[in-house]
Amino acid sequence: MTSEIAVMNQRAVALAADSAVTMGRGTKTIVRNEQRKLFQLADGLPVGVMVFGVADLMGHPWDVLLEHFRKHANPRPLPHVRDYPAKFIAALDRLESFFPRARMDDEYKRLLASVFRFIANLARYLHQAGVCASHDEAMKQAIAMAWQRYQTREDGSPCRDLPCFPAGFAEAVRRDHARATDEMIAYGFSNVSLDEAARQQLRDIAVFCVVKDLFLEDVTGLVTAGYGADETYPVVVTTNVSAVVSGVVKRGEVDVTAIDTEMRSGISLYADCEASYAFLRGMELDLEARIYGTLRSLGANLVEQAVASFTRVDPAERESVRRMLLSQLLPDAIRRFHGTIAEYQQQAYVDPILRVLEIATKQDLAEMARELVALNIFRKKARAGTQTVGGAVDVALISREAGFAWVQRQGG
């Protein structure tokens, strides 16, 4: 696991990252505290890069890929921060010296296996939560839910193809990997009974998981922060990268946070930052999710009990009221409750910190970034679990006038 923080105001942006890396060997988890996750993109550029999630791309560590980029792409100042990750990742496309075509089929299978694991875990949850009565039913529903997620975003807009792939790429993936797809479906779902409709959805997913702007698979998060040549204030860009398929790196921009005259400070958390989240919002994310989940469950049970008590009401009318309560009134009440709590968290916890950050010095930014990572390290130690966040903390400070400067670095 990883804990990484970006803290910024109009003066600078500070980046901090721990050095723990987790490796699995059978059923044993091994943690090493020697992984570098924070880098300067290139000498002379006011841009830093942090990586979290998967530590390599087709077996090549990200620091090696960044070094290759520095040597061979001759990176120059670009107008915007978002141009830097775009240029870096584009330099990896069709780079056969690192990503030989002979291994592309294996890379595609790794990507698809990761998505199939997501579906299997979702099916297990649906079954254990009692949503589906049988494992087969849960698996069919999980497949259908994953298929739908590749069609439509949560806001109702269509899930589009990633612009990094050329026209016709989806058809090429379907054609070139048809045999591998059927083999993986047969292997991964041999313990369930699937009809042809579900199998066809899995074949569609085998294409969607490559070309769609959705990352259900294991990913690397690239955090690029600093200044473009045309930018007055710092910008932080987050990009997902997951696999190299047919010579093209699957990637998608996730988020852009920019300081300006309106937004004068900001804090971004990445990966394992539960303690930082609790400090900033007054409640751990797991507890927050448990509260809202319990509220939904209790509300639904209350509706069922209340509706069932009206034994003299016409059954059809009672069912109509039940559906209306469960689909409209209860979700609306939960949304209003969530909004009220979120507004209080913002006013009581988040805003006071951001107001202090607005006037913070550069050194203050660096110290806060380091301490927020240290808070996550302490949390792991205090709970006596596997120390998946830990080791030395690297800290860098990036400003327009001074560029990229190390504040604290492994090895001195």
Q: Any residues with CB less than 8 A from the CB of 139 and at least 6 apart, and which? A: 119, 120, 123, 189, 192, 194, 198
How far apart are alpha carbons 45 and 88 in whole angstroms?
A: 13
Structural fold of domain 3-97+219-283+345-408: Glutamine Phosphoribosylpyrophosphate, subunit 1, domain 1 (3.60.20)
Domain boundaries, given as residue ranges, for the chain: 3-97+219-283+345-408, 101-211
Q: How far apart are CA 177 and CA 106, in angstroms?
A: 11
Please write the tens of the pLDDT for every residue from 264-312.
999 999 998 999 999 999 999 899 999 998 998 899 999 999 988 988 8
Angle formed by the axes of helices 135-149 and 196-211, nearest 10° = 40
CA nearest neighbour of 334 among 291, 301, 305: 291
Distance CA 54, CA 220 (A): 5
CA distance linking residue 412 with residue 399, whole number of Å: 21
What pLDDT shows up at residue 389? 86
The CA angle 350-352-357, to the nearest 5 degrees, is 95
CB count within 10 Å of CB 411 equals 7
pLDDT of 387 reads 73
Low-confidence ranges of the chain (pLDDT < 70): 23-30, 384-385, 412
Between CA 82 and CA 225 the distance in angstroms is 9
What Å distances lie between residue 137 and 7, 169, 188, 216, CA to CA? 46, 33, 16, 21
Q: Write out pLDDT tens, residues 354-381.
A: 999 999 999 999 999 999 999 999 998 8
Confidence (pTM): 0.90
DSSP-assigned letters across all residues of 120-165: HHHHHHHHHTTSSSSHHHHHHHHHHHHHHHTTB-TTS-B-PBPTTS
Strands (E), 261-301: 265-271
| Residue 45 structure tokens | 């550029």
The owner of tokens 């998946």 is 388
C-alpha distances (whole Å) from 62 to each of 39, 98, 188, 326 are 10, 12, 30, 48
Distance of CA 116 to CAs 111, 173, 184, Å?
9, 17, 9
Q: DSSP secondary structure string, 375-386?
A: HHHHHHHHTTS-
